[in-house]
Amino acid sequence: MARYEIVSVGYKLKSLRKKYGVNQDDLAGSEITRNLISQIEHNKARLTRKSAEVMFKNLRVICSERNVEFNEDIEYLIEDEKTQAKKILDKYIDELKDLSLYKDISFVNRLNEVEDFLVKWSFEDKKISIYTLAGDYFCSINDFYKSSIYYEKARSLISLDMPENMVIPILRKLSMVYFYMGKYEYDIKCCEFALDRFDDMNEEYTAIFLYNSALCYTKLKQYDKSLKRLEKLERIIEIGTEKYYRAMIHKAVCLQYQQRYDESLDIYNNILLHFAKERDYANSVIVMLNAAEIYIDESNIEKAMEYLKTVEENMVNLDETHPKIPNIYFELGSRYYGLKDLNNSKKYYLKALEYAKKFKYYFVIEDIIFELIDIYGSEEMSQLKQEFFMVTSKLDEINSKLMIKMIKYYTSISDFQSINEICEFSEKFIKEKL
């Protein structure tokens, strides 16, 4: 049920006459016609301020003659439905801001109420504010799918003549959630649009879009493109800042995947000194995991193990709410798999799965399932199959690469019942989306 009611000017005028017991002729006097008042009351004519002032003047005289106190607000009377709707939406926006602090159903309930209200009363600027708040809320509870839906709704309302400070923040937020969802192509398009569209964008936002697009190109294994973005980024960020070191980590990663190991290790070693000095355990762990991967590739097992043991010792210093925790455990599992230590690999993949579920990092869950297929026995695969069904439903998209790998596994052990379950699930999922 709606919490706010919009009252027409005609209804308010009728109520005013009824309250003071006057007819239309009394209210009209000699300056306006009774017919005009009738038209206004039936919402067929607009009430102007001049007409309202005449009515109020006549009503004051009548009340004075009857010794009745007159205390009415002309602004309330002439306020039309659109103005009321805008004020109500402003109240809703303030309420959503307050409710967004609480991670319960109250925000969603109020949002549903607002969206029902917006069906009739649609103001683009208010919609953008409401959809952005909704995107922020769902992002804060790691529901990136819903977050992206609302940010996309806000983006769809953007026009080219809107001020930059209204447009760019929405694009930045979209870029963030696209990455968390693993939608790297969408993310790149979002970043490139912002960089191409706003030539005079400030350096802070330029750096964000360059960095985010570089991350996505790396995920897509397009390392040259990623390095080009990072080169542009280096020219505008201050050396020694947090952004600088993040960019350097990523540059080293690209060089590493291009097998330019010496260049990559030089960067890792230099920035490790900085992170150690700053007691930045999260970034230290990430860099050491990357360096360990290089040593595994070079068959320097002793050096790789040295780094991995240091990583394990440092894990106790990490806050369990740190957003990189699921990825760190995943990378630990990957390193031990590279060393053919399947027990430790499985242990850390399962730890990664635990935190990825907690953080709702569904695209990370897909990566974990993909790797665990190579480790799990037939009895444990049933759990992975259920995880596949769950993550597909959450992401509203089938990961065909993962599905094919699961089917190949079940084919290798002649488990045709499981293959049939996967096919039936996928068929039903696809039909529901048509």
Assigned token pair, 223:
């390392």
Asked whether residue 23 is assigned to any structural domain, the reply reads: yes
Domain with 59 in it: what CATH number? 1.10.260.40
Asked whether residue 258 is assigned to any structural domain, the reply reads: no
Domain count, the chain: 1
Asked whether residue 361 is assigned to any structural domain, the reply reads: no
One digit per residue, the tens of pLDDT, for the chain of length 434 reads 457 889 999 999 999 999 999 999 999 988 999 999 999 999 999 999 999 999 999 999 999 999 999 989 999 999 999 999 999 999 999 999 999 998 789 999 999 999 999 999 889 999 999 999 999 999 999 899 999 999 999 999 988 778 888 899 999 999 999 999 889 999 999 999 999 999 889 999 999 999 999 999 999 999 999 999 999 999 999 999 999 999 999 999 999 999 999 999 999 999 999 999 999 999 999 999 999 999 999 999 999 999 999 999 999 999 999 999 999 999 999 999 999 999 999 999 999 999 999 998 999 999 999 999 999 988 889 999 999 999 999 888 899 999 999 999 999 999 999 999 999 999 999 888 76
Asked whether residue 412 is assigned to any structural domain, the reply reads: no
Asked whether residue 99 is assigned to any structural domain, the reply reads: no
Question: How far are the Cα atoms of 328, 342, 368, 396 from residue 349, in angstroms, in the given order?
Answer: 10, 10, 6, 24
Asked whether residue 253 is assigned to any structural domain, the reply reads: no
Asked whether residue 211 is assigned to any structural domain, the reply reads: no
Q: Using CA atoms, how far apart are residues 229 and 51, in angstroms rounded to an integer?
A: 64
414: left (phi over 0), alpha (psi -120 to 50) or beta: left
Asked whether residue 59 is assigned to any structural domain, the reply reads: yes
* Its pTM surpasses 0.85: no
Question: How far are the Cα atoms of 195, 196, 201, 243, 375 from residue 204, in angstroms, in the given order?
Answer: 12, 15, 8, 10, 44
Neighbours of 90 (CB within 10 A): 12
Domain containing 38 equals 9-79
